[in-house]
Amino acid sequence: MDCSICSALPYILRPPRNTICGACYEGARSIITLTNKLDGEKGSDKTRNTTVSSSNMTKGFANVLKWVKEMKDIEDMLNEKISYLGGFAAAFKDQIHNDIQVKPGDNGPSVPAHKALLASRSDIFRNILDSDGCKAPPNDTIILHELNHEEVESLLEFLYSGDLTKEKVEKHVYSLSIAADKYDIPFLQKFCWQHMLRSLNSSNALDILEISDSCSNQSLKETALNFIVRNMEDVVFAARFDPFAAKNPHLTVQITRALFMDIKNKRNGV
């Protein structure tokens, strides 16, 4: 059947011109479902969980282009906002009017920062800065004992800009995830967890399991655990497994139990 949408030469089709192929039909339905779902979620937010009217949920394909243009306008505005807020990153990079030093735990050089930004990004930092020990001298210093100099720099860079280069994320994601958990920085936690989920493989699954356990991220932990069970041979016979098992006997027990449950479920056809 010639399709009036995806045909190479739709203008030579004979009437009726309203026939479409199965692929275009399913694609149109998927797009309409997505736009209706997003419109419904937006409507629910505005009405504080009241029911969205049925007329708003059946707009059809004609309004998809309008919706896409609206999303593009929103994207452009967000990009402008990000660029506008980038002044914080410039203040950090150029060390403009900094009023506190953040010292790493490895006796490396401290990194200049701004008290106001630290306090706005973390309630824990705010409490630290509000304590008696951090008032008065102009060269105040706080120490992040669990981070080295490079990790402190990466942490502060993220707090100022909301992003990190791929190289810095890959190098410091575990230490930054622990710092995000300790200092209650939800956006950094989510940033690190998403990276770990995307990069999960046989060589780092044990590290991700260990981090997720220490940070009490149950969702990430279950994902890592399931991955390990599915790739047990690659993980267990790797050199990393012996020191991991010695350090984390409780996680080793959980891996063993998860493996036996997986075997049992397969035997039972679950």
Whole-number average pLDDT of the chain? 81
Q: Which of 89, 77, 84 is nearest to 113 (CA)?
A: 89
The count of other CB atoms within 10 Å of the CB of residue 43 is: 15
What pLDDT does residue 50 have? 42
One-letter amino acid of 173: V
What pLDDT does residue 33 have? 78
What pLDDT does residue 134 have? 47
Ranges 26-30, 111-115, 131-135, 163-167: which has the least confidence: 131-135
Name the band, by pLDDT with cuts 50, 70 and 90, for residue 58: very low
Q: Each residue of 144-167: pLDDT tens digit?
A: 999 999 999 999 999 988 889 999
Mean pLDDT of 91-96: 73
The pLDDT of residue 116 is above 60: yes
- Inter-residue contact 188 to 176 (CB < 8 Å): yes
Strand order in the sheet with 111-113: 111-113, 100-104, 141-144
Name the band, by pLDDT with cuts 50, 70 and 90, for residue 2: low
Place of tokens 């504080």: 48
Place of tokens 């304590």: 131
Q: Each residue of 183-227: pLDDT tens digit?
A: 999 999 999 999 999 999 999 999 999 999 999 999 999 999 999
Phi-psi region of 97 (alpha: psi -120 to 50; beta: other; left: phi over 0): left
What SS3 class is residue 137? coil
What pLDDT does residue 1 have? 55
Helix axes 22-46, 64-85, angle to 10 degrees: 60
What pLDDT does residue 138 have? 44
What pLDDT does residue 179 have? 94
Q: What percent of the chain has pLDDT over 90?
A: 46
Q: What is the DSSP annotation of 74-123?
A: HHHHHHHHHHHHTHHHHHHHTT-S--EEEEETTS---EEE-HHHHHHH-H
Q: Taking the model in full, what pTM does it have?
A: 0.68
Question: Which one has a higher pLDDT value, 8 or 132?
Answer: 8
